[in-house]
Amino acid sequence: MISVVLLASDDLQGLAAQMAMLVPAAVDGLVKEVLLAGVSEPGVEALVEDSGARLVQVEGDAAACFAAAAAAARGDWILTLRAAPALREGWREPVEKHLAGAGGTPAALAAPGGWLTRRLHGVLVRRLDWPTSAGDERALAKTLKARRLAY
């Protein structure tokens, strides 16, 4: 159902932690695939191979990486993520509710905490609605007028 697009980086621990938070959702069928997008840093290919993710090799900024991976995605929805901030327990509930009842509206997934401490985890958007020029996550959320999902 969801293709998770994760920016490849040299933060292997962060990438592994992010991917570990996706495992239960993958087992349950919510996450269809994980794509790591970017330049293959040392250790990224091993992480991809060990996890069953796909590597989309592309040079450029976050916008270029997200766009290339979105073009390769097979899920109905795309969730953009970076190595940090890592998802926390409870991220699935608002995402599943949104998928079930928001009628295809894009959403920005926000980290838990008070109003001033909330950080953007990523953007959830239907693959077919991915804009041709999106930018990074903040620009993507703004362009799509994404609804804020806090957990």
- Rounded-to-integer distance, Cα 128 and Cα 114, Å: 33
Q: Phi/psi zone of residue 56: left (φ > 0), alpha (ψ -120 to 50 degrees), beta?
A: beta
State the pLDDT at residue 117: 53
Nearest by Cα to 139 from 60, 55, 84, 61: 61
Q: Taking the domain 2-150, which CATH number applies?
A: 3.90.550.10
pTM (two decimals): 0.92
Burial class (CB within 10 angstroms; exposed 0-12, middle 13-18, buried 19+) of 82: buried
- State which amino acid sits at residue 84: A
Tens digit of each residue's pLDDT, the chain (151 residues): 999 999 999 899 999 999 999 999 999 999 999 999 998 878 999 999 999 999 999 999 999 999 999 999 999 999 999 998 889 899 999 999 999 997 889 999 987 765 555 688 899 999 999 998 778 888 999 999 999 998 8
CA atoms within 13 A on the CB side of 143: 16
